[in-house]
């Protein structure tokens, strides 16, 4: 059986290959080449099988589009991650946790990538500058949670990944390590027994997987998730609301329920970031609120993610909720339940008295 590196080498990486597969009538050579010049192309065999099978949702996510060349008001570094970067590869925005980019590459490139300005470019996620990052983490004793991302951390070899996990575990104030990945769907073969053994030596290691559509949970992907869960990793997921891919409540509900069945706890649902080159994926915010309303109460609370906007300019993640509070008066709160019915919650009498004094 081929190992994961060999399978990765069978990926599609050129416009010629796309034309060969999908025909000149579906791939505008010049425009698609321009899109690829701006942001890498790679489609693994697992993703290609999905494009052929499930069609539009995967095509949109992975096949470069001429729309990527249209920049209206998209921003290159929309989350201002580089402004909050004290040393290369680290973004420190919140009080007690940091984002640590340890791999410049992904198995497949999502066309809506927020970090498309640097992902795929080893010069922008430099692999020879980790000393300053480790020193920063050692010195900043307030950091108790480190999020490994990139690129995709599971693109590293087992040995290289273990190097990072070991270094981080040697820092006493780091309590939690998270790995952010899309490998379980891009390259499920990468989730080997050996990889799971490496991870299990450094717990607690949370693994957050980016899933956008229920069809992404193929049998191979589900098997990879089970291996990670059995290795003791709490699994979470992040989803981006994408026009034409998952912007409807039924698709989202199916996705969240399917994740839960695979021991993956839905964590965040994001509005698409206003990234230059990915603006054609954006939806209105009402769509996200409509989806949240269709989840909360109608299915397991465990299947309901937090809906957030990652504020442009570096404000961090800001939660959005449908409005469930009709009115707050001195003696009661008027609430609307998931089905739209009104309920009154009486406030404690002492509070009412106190406010009279
Ligand atoms: C999302 C993010 C985190 C983690 O935020 P949580 O809400 O704890 O998941 C940390 N740092 C940066 C820069 C982030 O974008």
Listed in sequence order, the residues at least 6 apart from 9 whose beta carbon sits closer than 8 Å to its beta carbon are: none
Contact 269, 315 (CB under 8 A): no
Whole-angstrom distance, CA of residue 314 vs CA of residue 299: 33
Of 355, 338, 336, nearest in space to 347 by CA: 355
Give me the mean pLDDT over the 5-19 stretch: 97
User: HEC profile for 22-47?
Assistant: HCCCCCCHHHHHHHHHHCCCCECHHH
- Which overall architecture, per CATH, does domain 82-319 show? Alpha-Beta Barrel (3.20)
Q: Is 116 a catalytic residue?
A: no
pLDDT at 1 over 80: no
Q: Which of 42, 62, 77, 106 is catalytic?
A: 106
Residues of the chain with pLDDT > 90, as a percent, come to: 87
Mean pLDDT of 185-195: 98
DSSP string, 313-343: TTTEEEE-----EEEE-SSEEEEE-TTS-EE
pLDDT confidence bin for 351, thresholds 50/70/90: low
Residue 16, pLDDT > 70, answer yes
Give the chain's mean pLDDT: 95
What is the best residue among 84, 90, 92, 97 to mutate for testing ligand 1's pocket, by most ligand atoms within 8 Å of CB? 97
From 28, 94, 265, 336, the catalytic residue: 94
Mean pLDDT of 212-227: 97
Condensed to tens digits (0 to 9), the pLDDT of residues 250-264 reads 999 999 999 999 999
- Confidence (pLDDT) at 127: 76
Q: Say if residue 332's pLDDT is above 80.
A: yes
- List CB contacts of 1: < 8 A, sequence separation 6 or more: none
Dump pLDDT digits (tens) for 142-178.
999 999 999 999 999 999 999 999 999 999 999 999 9
**How many C-beta atoms lie closer than 10 Å to residue 243's C-beta?**
16
| Amino acid 294: pLDDT | 97
Pairing of strands 97-103, 145-150: parallel
Q: Does position 216 have pLDDT exceeding 90, yes or no? A: yes
Atom 15 of ligand 1, nearest CA residue: 316
Q: Whose C-alpha lies nearest to ligand 1, atom 2?
A: 99
pLDDT of 356 higher than 80: no
Pick from 25-34, 78-87, 147-156, 256-265: least confident? 78-87
Question: Residue 96's pLDDT is what?
Answer: 98
**Tens-digit pLDDT profile for residues 296-306:** 999 999 999 99
State the Rg of the chain over Cα.
Answer: 22
Q: Is 308 a catalytic residue?
A: no
Strands (E), 199-324: 205-210, 235-241, 264-271, 306-311, 316-319
Is 159 among the catalytic positions?
no
Active-site entry in 42, 97, 111, 253: 97
pLDDT above 90: residue 6: yes
Q: What is the pLDDT of residue 129?
A: 81
What would the pLDDT profile of 102-123 be if each residue is shown by its tens digit? 999 999 999 999 999 989 888 8
Q: Is the pTM of this model over 0.75?
A: yes
Residue ranges, CATH 3.20.20.70, the chain: 82-319
**pLDDT for the residue numbered 282:** 96
- pLDDT score at 288: 98
pLDDT for position 339: 96
Which protein residues are within 6 Å of ligand 1, measured from CB? 91, 93-94, 97, 99, 147, 317
CA pair distance 147, 38, nearest whole angstrom: 27
The residue that leads in pLDDT, 254 or 314, is: 254
CA distances (Å), origin 322, targets 233, 238, 252, 308, 315:
32, 19, 16, 12, 21
Q: Does the annotation count 109 as an active-site position? A: no
Residues 6+ apart with CB under 8 A from 160: none
Residue 54: pLDDT band with limits 50, 70, 90: confident
Q: Considering the chain, what percentage of its residues have pLDDT values greater than 70?
A: 98
Q: How high is the pLDDT of residue 246? A: 97
What DSSP state is assigned to residue 299? Answer: B
Q: How confident is the model at residue 203 (pLDDT cuts 50, 70, 90)?
A: very high
| 52 belongs to the catalytic site | no
């Amino acid at each position: 059986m081929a190992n994961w590196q060999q399978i990765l080498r069978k990926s599609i990486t050129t416009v010629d290959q796309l034309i060969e597969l999908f025909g000149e009538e579906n791939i505008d050579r010049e425009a698609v080449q321009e899109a690829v010049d701006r942001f890498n192309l790679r489609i693994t065999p697992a993703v290609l099988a999905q494009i052929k099978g499930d069609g539009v949702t995967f095509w949109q996510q992975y096949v470069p589009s001429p729309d990527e060349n249209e920049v209206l008001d998209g921003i290159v570094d929309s989350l201002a991650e580089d402004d909050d970067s004290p040393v290369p590869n680290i973004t420190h925005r919140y009080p007690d946790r940091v984002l640590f980019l340890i791999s410049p590459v992904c198995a497949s490139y999502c066309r809506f990538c927020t970090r498309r300005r640097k992902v795929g470019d080893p010069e922008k996620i430099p692999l020879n500058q980790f000393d300053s990052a480790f020193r920063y983490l050692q010195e900043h004793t307030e950091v108790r949670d480190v999020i490994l991302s990139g690129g995709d951390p599971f693109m590293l070899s087992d040995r290289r990944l273990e190097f990072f996990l070991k270094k981080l575990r040697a820092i006493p104030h780091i309590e939690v390590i998270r790995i952010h990945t899309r490998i379980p769907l891009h390259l499920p073969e990468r989730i080997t027994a050996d990889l799971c053994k490496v991870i299990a030596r450094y717990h607690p290691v949370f693994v957050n997987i980016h899933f956008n559509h229920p069809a992404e949970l193929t049998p191979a992907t589900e098997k990879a998730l089970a291996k990670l869960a059995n290795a003791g990793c709490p699994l979470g997921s992040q989803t981006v609301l994408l026009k034409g891919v998952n912007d409807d409540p039924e698709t989202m509900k199916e996705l969240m329920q399917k994740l839960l069945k695979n021991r993956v706890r839905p964590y965040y649902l994001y509005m698409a970031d206003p990234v230059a080159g990915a603006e054609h994926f954006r939806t209105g915010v009402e769509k996200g609120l409509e989806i949240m309303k269709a989840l909360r109460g109608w299915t397991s609370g465990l299947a309901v993610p937090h809906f957030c906007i990652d504020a442009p300019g570096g404000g961090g993640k800001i939660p959005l909720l449908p409005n469930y509070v009709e009115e707050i008066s001195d003696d009661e709160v008027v609430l609307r339940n998931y089905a739209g019915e009104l309920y009154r919650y009486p406030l404690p009498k002492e509070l009412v008295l106190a406010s009279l004094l």
